[in-house]
């Protein structure tokens, strides 16, 4: 098995061409929607290295299939200088539902029990800012174009209890932005982010709206699942966004001395307001940084990278196992069954 680095000029052209606005389902009727544009402000730039080791492959394995995250090309980030080092025959695949792209590796009868993959790239990342204009209720054409953003997904269902609370919160409130703010504030005030008290609080582990509602705690996936479930009750379209936070304290770290310090994952959400367009929020960050509560209602910072969109993910090519709750980092199968033997280390440094 051979590993080699390639600077993918043609792949970069493809990534640049397949922007989020052209790839996502809501643009099936683009004239009905306000397109998302890239901010005019200056971006922050990072050199990023995303390194994986797939290990502990069982002896006698007939086939290994592995999917690895790739940075998405979307209005808030631009990717350049992409370099992939992976086993021979890797390829970039795109799934149709959300436009998510993956690095795909398939190995028949692997001779070794482990292999490495790395993805290096330059990231330009913009802070989001809310679009101007007055929000209004969706038209029928907009509802049709945004049907995928109003649909339920596993663990994010709008239960009767959630629906009842959502309608109670917005009683007498007609402005869509004010309704969204009611849900945002309710979650921050009613739930505690689990890392505030890890001895007594925990996340659901599955991004559950009902868990966050009932247990009044969770992590970013739980908080945003509840927000999406509440928003759906009043026909506010939303989309889940998964990525990694690029925190200042990890900027320039070449290797982590403790795997627990590795950046892991973080998620946020965006809401479509008719008459305004897409607006981004980060409810869990607002919960743990109270001084930025106003900011994170309709902004997200430039210290993050987007790796995928949506929940209930079918990979490309399709995995043998069930749809994934979300996708970030990696997913590996050996002979059609999920294999958990892999590690990931993402490092980055700010560049000018």
Contact 343, 55 (CB under 8 A): yes
* pLDDT per position as a tens digit, 183-196: 999 999 999 999 99
Contact 139, 95 (CB under 8 A): no
* pLDDT (0 to 100) of residue 17: 44
Using CB atoms within 10 A of its CB, is residue 61 exposed (0-12), middle (13-18) or buried (19+)?
middle
Say if residue 306's pLDDT is above 60.
Answer: yes
For 21, the enclosing helix (H) or strand (E) is: helix 20-23
Residues across the chain: 352
- Percentage of residues in the chain having pLDDT higher than 90: 88
Q: Please report, for the chain, the start and end positions of each structural domain, with discontinuous segments joined by +.
A: 3-127+316-351, 140-307
* pLDDT per position as a tens digit, 20-35: 434 444 444 445 799 9
CA dist 239 and 224 (Å) reads 10
* pLDDT per position as a tens digit, 25-75: 444 444 579 999 999 999 999 999 999 999 999 999 999 999 999 999 999
Say if residue 298's pLDDT is above 50.
Answer: yes
Domain 3-127+316-351, second-level architecture: Sandwich (2.60)
* pLDDT (0 to 100) of residue 343: 97
What is the CATH number that goes with domain 140-307? 3.10.620.30
Least confident piece of the model among 20-34, 161-175, 241-255: 20-34
* pLDDT (0 to 100) of residue 31: 56
SS3 label, residue 134: coil
* pLDDT per position as a tens digit, 77-92: 999 999 999 999 999 9
Q: What is the residue-wise DSSP string for 210-258?
A: HHHHHHSEE-HHHHHHHHHHHHHHTT--EEEEEEEE--GGGTT-SS-SS
Which tokens belong to 263? 């950046």
């Amino acid at each position: 098995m051979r590993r080699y680095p390639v600077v993918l000029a043609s792949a970069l052209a493809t990534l640049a061409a397949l922007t989020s606005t052209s790839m996502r389902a809501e643009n099936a009727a683009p004239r009905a929607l306000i397109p998302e544009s890239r901010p005019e402000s200056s971006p922050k730039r990072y050199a990023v290295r995303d390194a994986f080791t797939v290990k502990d492959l069982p002896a006698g394995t007939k086939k290994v299939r592995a999917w690895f995250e790739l940075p998405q090309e979307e209005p808030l980030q631009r990717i350049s200088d992409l370099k992939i080092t992976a086993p021979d025959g890797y390829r970039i695949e795109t799934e149709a539902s959300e436009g998510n792209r993956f690095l795909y590796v398939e190995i028949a009868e692997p001779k070794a029990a482990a292999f490495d993959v790395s993805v290096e790239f330059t990231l330009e990342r913009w802070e989001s800012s809310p679009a101007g204009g007055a929000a209004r209720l969706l038209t029928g054409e907009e509802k049709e174009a945004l049907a995928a953003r109003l649909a339920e997904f596993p663990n994010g269902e709008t239960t009767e209890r959630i629906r009842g609370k959502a309608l109670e919160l917005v009683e007498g409130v007609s402005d869509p932005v004010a309704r969204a703010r009611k849900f945002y504030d309710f979650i921050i005030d009613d739930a505690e982010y689990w890392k505030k008290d890890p001895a007594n609080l925990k996340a659901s582990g599955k991004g559950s709206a009902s868990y966050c509602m009932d247990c009044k705690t969770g992590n970013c996936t739980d908080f945003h699942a509840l927000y999406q479930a509440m928003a759906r009750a009043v026909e506010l379209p939303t989309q889940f966004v998964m990525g990694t936070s690029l925190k200042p304290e990890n900027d320039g770290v070449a290797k982590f001395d403790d795997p627990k310090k590795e950046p892991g994952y973080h998620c946020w959400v965006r809401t479509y307001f008719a008459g305004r367009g897409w607006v981004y929020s980060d409810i869990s960050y607002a919960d743990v940084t109270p001084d930025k509560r106003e900011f994170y209602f309709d902004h997200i910072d430039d210290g993050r990278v987007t790796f995928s969109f949506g929940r209930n993910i079918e990979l490309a090519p399709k995995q043998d196992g069930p749809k994934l709750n979300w996708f970030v980092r990696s997913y590996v199968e050996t002979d059609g069954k999920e294999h958990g033997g892999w590690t990931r280390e993402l490092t980055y440094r700010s560049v000018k």
